[in-house]
Amino acid sequence: MRHITSKHIPDITEFKHKLLQWSQQFEEVVWMDSNQHDTSYSSYDAILAVDAFTSIQTDYFEAFTSLKEYQEITKDWIFGYLTYDVKNGLEHLQSNNFDGLGFSDIFFFQPKRLFLIKGNQVEIQYLNMVDDEVDSDLEAICSLQKEALDSESNPVKIKVRMHKDAYFKKINTMLEHIHRGDIYEANFCQEFYAEDVSIHPLETYKKLNAVSKPPFATFLKQQDKYLMCASPERYIKKVGQTVISQPIKGTAKRAVNTVEDEKLKIDLTHNEKERSENIMIVDLVRNDLSKTAIKGSVKVEELCKVYSFPQVHQMISTISSKISETVKPIDILKTTFPMGSMTGAPKLSAMRIIETLEDTKRGLYSGTVGYFTPDGDFDFNVIIRSILYNQTKKYVSYSVGGAITSKSNPASEYEECLVKAKAMRDVLEY
């Protein structure tokens, strides 16, 4: 079904730039880049999938049933996303908040052209109908000249959907729910946006990726809609009979001074509030994974380890499980979605409360983008630290959030949101 070619590329950095530039001619694009983060859980350094042969696009109703059918019939590489609002098909939930972007609830496609990069090797997998175009495509990619910045990329004036006083009021309402025992923790998000603006999606992504250098960077194009994602977080991955999830809870800013920066990292490591946030979500993820796991196989591989990124320090845990060969890959997603780090605990109560307090429909933000292999393995990120763009509507949006617990201070939570938002704001405004 696929013609496979392997090439050694001496300058892989230059090739990646040209490959991404070349991809812009297609209506469907998924680019995933690990930015050379050395992790034992990575299968590839970067992946490009373009040019849909088949696809599925639907709303949240029976979304997982439709995706399972598509994945099992296709038995090939498929790439795409699930929006946060797919939750509405899993529980009696609704999303009636404002949506300026209009992404469909679920979208996956089978690419005609696929590039898998590991080290200096590029594995090129083309469907048979286009396999005679491999050489001409490679020639076109390698002969590309670096594009000048598009004149469309003007500074964007960002507006807040939720003003500071309203944010404080809503956090206090969330704290009332926590003190009453309705929930232990909830992830509360707010949107920043701009209307009637034009941006250059690829250049915007490049700038965002350059300042953040995250392990789960993604550029997604679906006709006139774009995701420019600098996510540091993996949602879930399956390789064979092993499943891993790596939730993030706990954030601290970086400092230019090395001594001060190290102190911020150590303070985060020992911060009681941040650790309790993380451990609550670890318990939730363990519970979710146990729904498809072989009994007794769920393990916490790493608890509350602090990793440093250019913009922030993050507290990350890794949980693994083993599954039997009879478990369907889609069922692992269905029993763990939405990811605990973006909801709270207990998950259903947190999602209900979030919906009443947030002003914006989350849509693709806090959803997931990733891929399935022909063997049913998969890898999905968490869509955070991301800019979303509807080119037709000329609407740009990014959202940020934080975990609210009984120890939360509204002013500190607001400050954390601004720290998380800094890279997106800087990229758009300057």
Q: List domains and CATH numbers for the chain.
A: 2-429 (3.60.120.10)
- What SS3 class is residue 381? strand
φ, ψ at 200 (rounded to 5°): -95, 105
DSSP 98: B
Look up residue 191 and give its amino acid: E
**Contact between residue 20 and residue 50 where contact means Cβ atoms under 8 Å apart:** no
**Contact between residue 76 and residue 133 where contact means Cβ atoms under 8 Å apart:** no
To the query of whether residue 302 is one of the catalytic residues in this protein, the response is no
Q: What is the pLDDT of residue 329?
A: 98
Run of H or E residues at 332 = helix 329-334
C-alpha to C-alpha distance for 245 and 163, rounded to whole angstroms? 34
Run of H or E residues at 320 = strand 312-322
Written as tens digits, the pLDDT of the chain (430 aa) is: 899 999 999 999 999 999 999 999 999 999 999 998 876 788 999 999 999 999 999 999 999 999 999 999 999 999 999 999 999 999 989 999 999 999 999 999 999 999 999 999 999 999 999 999 999 999 999 999 876 555 455 789 999 999 999 999 999 999 999 999 999 999 999 999 999 999 999 999 999 999 999 999 999 999 999 999 999 999 999 999 999 999 999 999 999 999 999 999 999 999 998 999 999 999 999 999 999 999 999 999 999 999 999 889 999 999 999 999 999 999 999 999 999 999 999 999 999 999 999 999 999 999 999 999 999 999 999 999 999 999 999 999 999 999 999 999 999 999 999 999 999 999 999 8
DSSP 298: -
C-alpha to C-alpha distance for 383 and 81, rounded to whole angstroms? 10
Q: What is the pLDDT of residue 296?
A: 97
- The distance of Cα 100 from the centroid of its chain, to the nearest Å, equals 19
φ, ψ at 327 (rounded to 5°): -70, 130
Please, which residues have CB within 8 angstroms of residue 238's CB and are 6 or more apart in sequence? 323, 329, 332, 376, 377, 378, 379
Q: What is the pLDDT of residue 148?
A: 56
CA dihedral of residues 118, 121, 127, 133 (deg, nearest 10): 140
DSSP 8: E
First to last CA, the chain: 46
Q: Cα–Cα–Cα angle for 399, 225, 44, nearest 5°?
A: 80
C-alpha to C-alpha distance for 135 and 241, rounded to whole angstroms? 36
Helices (DSSP H) in 126-271: which residue ranges? 134-142, 164-180, 201-212, 258-269
To the query of whether residue 249 is one of the catalytic residues in this protein, the response is yes
Q: Cα–Cα–Cα angle for 75, 77, 80, nearest 5°?
A: 115
Joined tokens for residue 179: 């003190």
Among 249, 322, 334, 347, which one carries the catalytic annotation?
Answer: 249
- Which residue carries 């999938």 as its tokens? 49
Among 185, 233, 277, 416, which one carries the catalytic annotation?
Answer: 233
C-alpha to C-alpha distance for 286 and 364, rounded to whole angstroms? 25
- Which residue carries 């650790």 as its tokens? 275
Joined tokens for residue 193: 């946006």
Q: Cα–Cα–Cα angle for 14, 18, 22, nearest 5°?
A: 170
Joined tokens for residue 204: 């915007």
For the chain, state the CA radius of gyration: 21
CA torsion sign for 308, 311, 314, 319 is negative
DSSP 418: H
- What SS3 class is residue 414? helix
Run of H or E residues at 285 = helix 272-290
